């Protein structure tokens, strides 16, 4: 890998140099081991420690097929799906690989006794497979995580509806937390030129998801002036939702759990903030009984902040713990748009507040290629900014995942793969200088 890294770091390298570089037989990757998928049986998901399950191994370079690209990965990031796969909950990702492997001979490459995880990357294309014309070796790229086969008509209006839709690096193998990654070429997008490798590696998954969920007509179709309640407003998804609300002329009502996170939201430009820890909302009396009085107290607080208005859109992802409150506080005719269930996926809400007030619940999941491209374009133009708080070396990926699992992080956590240090990869220094404060906003001091 040293020759590839040297070529990336050498400003004189040309595309032909990358195409001519020999590929190594093996590369370093963050893996889960199939024979450990039951290691946490009997341990509550919240107590499972990713440092025990995530390994850094040398693994063989996969065979490159039609329509695919091999990317030398400079940096990647920890997503919540890294947490899910590392704690083998709610399902072992080896079940996904097994199912995918049955699809075709090429998909069978993914069904291995190890799983290279990771759903984000920034890096340089080193090889393209037959049929790839839009991308060449030497191009600096990021990758979105939508893997589709597109053989069925179902996915041709909106690729997220493809029956063989998968999240790369979670439901497929050869992910981004590694020195090399295998992607479908239609996952590739230009790397934003004003960002370092590690900054560029962090928006992909969450930025695209927030774009579809909040902005796209496939999600909540946010409008200028919309009141948007954003759970976890300084977290992975939420910090992008907050930026989209502000950039689109909407009014975010940011829910966070600490004063530091409240300050981050304020520094993005949000004015209406609820510190859920300080205000002590308890939406459940016990494991099975909700507390509607607390929904009402929460709704009253929102009205206090908005001057008596309710919210048009609730940006949902905590799930079971908050969903009853989310349905309650949406305005008549409002939308609850959900993409996740961090605290539990068996949601409960009082349906009278939904149907009598003509509210809608919309399910949203990642983004199609077009939406991911639009979201990346806004990063590249400096309209939306990365939210990286820290970058860990590949060897410390377990700690990085533990921080996210325990909600100790802010924004996004990057992981350096081939990049020997932080700060490399900036090509447009002028654009960077214009937005430096915003780019560094989430940085841990
Ligand atoms: N479907 C998709 O395509 C997709 C894409 C990305 C992520 N997701 C899912 O979305 C969820 C969030 O991902 P993320 O990257 O934003 O994670 P994250 O960085 O951990 O941020 C989530 C934030 O939500 C808040 N939160 C967590 N539990 C909560 C609870 N019980 N009640 C209220 N707020 C709570 C926390 O903020 P405070 O502590 O500040 O309140 C936390 O920082 C995960 O389950 C992830 O798997 C789905």
Ligand 1 pocket, mutate which of 202, 262, 318, 341 (most atoms under 8 A from CB): 318
CA of 247 to the centre of ligand 1 (A): 21
Q: Which atom of ligand 1 is nearest to the CA of 206?
A: 6
Give CA–CA dist 48/40, Å, rounded.
6
The 8-class DSSP code of residue 182 comes to: E
Q: How many residues does the chain have?
A: 445
How does pLDDT run across 376-433, given as a tens digit for each residue? 999 999 999 999 999 999 999 999 999 999 999 899 999 999 999 999 999 999 999 9
Please give the distance of CA 40 from its chain centroid, rounded to a whole number.
25
How does pLDDT run across 306-361, given as a tens digit for each residue? 999 999 999 999 999 999 999 999 999 999 999 999 999 999 999 999 999 999 99
Whether 283 lines ligand 1, by a CB cut-off of 6 Å, is no
Going by pLDDT thresholds of 50, 70 and 90, the confidence category of residue 445 is low
Mean pLDDT of 184-195: 98
Q: Which atom of ligand 1 is nearest to the CA of 234?
A: 40
Q: What is the pTM of this model?
A: 0.97
Cα–Cα distances (Å) from 295 to 205, 229, 238, 328, 434, in that order, read 31, 14, 21, 7, 42
Closest residue CA from atom 37 of ligand 1: 232
Give CA–CA dist 59/289, Å, rounded.
48
Give CA–CA dist 103/100, Å, rounded.
5
Give CA–CA dist 163/165, Å, rounded.
6
Whether 302 lines ligand 1, by a CB cut-off of 6 Å, is no
């Amino acid at each position: 890998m040293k020759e590839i890294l040297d070529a990336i770091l050498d400003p004189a390298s040309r595309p032909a140099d990358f195409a001519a570089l020999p590929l190594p037989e093996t590369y370093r990757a963050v893996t889960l081991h199939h024979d450990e998928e039951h290691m946490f049986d009997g341990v509550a998901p919240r107590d499972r420690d990713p440092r025990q399950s995530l390994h850094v191994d040398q693994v063989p370079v996969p065979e490159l097929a039609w329509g695919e690209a091999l990317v030398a990965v400079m940096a990647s990031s920890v997503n919540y799906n890294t947490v899910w796969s590392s704690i083998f909950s709610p399902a072992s990702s080896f079940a996904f690989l097994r199912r995918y492997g049955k699809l075709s001979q090429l998909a069978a490459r993914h069904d291995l006794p190890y799983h290279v995880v990771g759903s984000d990357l920034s890096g340089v294309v080193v090889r393209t497979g037959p049929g790839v014309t839009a991308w060449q070796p030497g191009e600096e790229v990021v990758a979105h995580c939508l893997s589709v086969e597109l053989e069925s008509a179902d996915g041709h209006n909106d690729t997220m509806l493809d029956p063989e839709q998968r999240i790369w690096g979670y439901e497929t193998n050869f992910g981004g937390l590694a020195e090399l990654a295998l992607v479908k070429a239609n996952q590739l997008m230009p790397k934003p030129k004003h960002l370092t490798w590690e900054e560029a590696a962090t928006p992909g998954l969450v930025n695209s998801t927030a774009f579809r969920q909040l902005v796209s007509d496939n999600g909540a179709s946010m409008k200028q002036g919309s009141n948007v309640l954003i759970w976890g407003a300084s977290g992975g998804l939420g910090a992008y939702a907050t930026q989209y609300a502000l950039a689109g002329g909407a009014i975010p009502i940011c829910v966070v759990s600490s004063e530091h996170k409240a300050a981050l939201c304020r520094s993005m430009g949000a004015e209406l903030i609820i510190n859920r820890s300080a205000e002590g909302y308890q939406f459940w009396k016990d494991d099975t009984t909700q507390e509607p009085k607390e929904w009402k107290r929460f709704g009253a607080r929102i009205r206090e902040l908005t001057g008596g208005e309710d919210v048009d859109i609730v940006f949902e992802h905590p799930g079971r713990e908050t969903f009853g409150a989310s349905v309650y506080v949406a305005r008549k005719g409002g939308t609850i748009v959900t993409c996740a269930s961090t605290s539990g996926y068996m949601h409960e809400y009082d349906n009278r507040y939904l149907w009598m007030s003509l509210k809608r619940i919309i399910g949203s999941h990642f983004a199609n290629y077009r939406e991911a491209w639009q979201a990346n374009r806004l990063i590249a133009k400096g309209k939306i900014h990365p939210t990286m708080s820290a970058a860990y070396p590949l060897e410390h990926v377990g700690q990085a995942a533990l921080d996210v699992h325990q909600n100790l992080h802010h924004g996004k956590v990057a992981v350096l793969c081939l990049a020997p240090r932080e700060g490399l990869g900036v090509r447009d220094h002028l654009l960077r200088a214009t937005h430096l404060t915003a780019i560094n906003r989430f940085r841990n001091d």
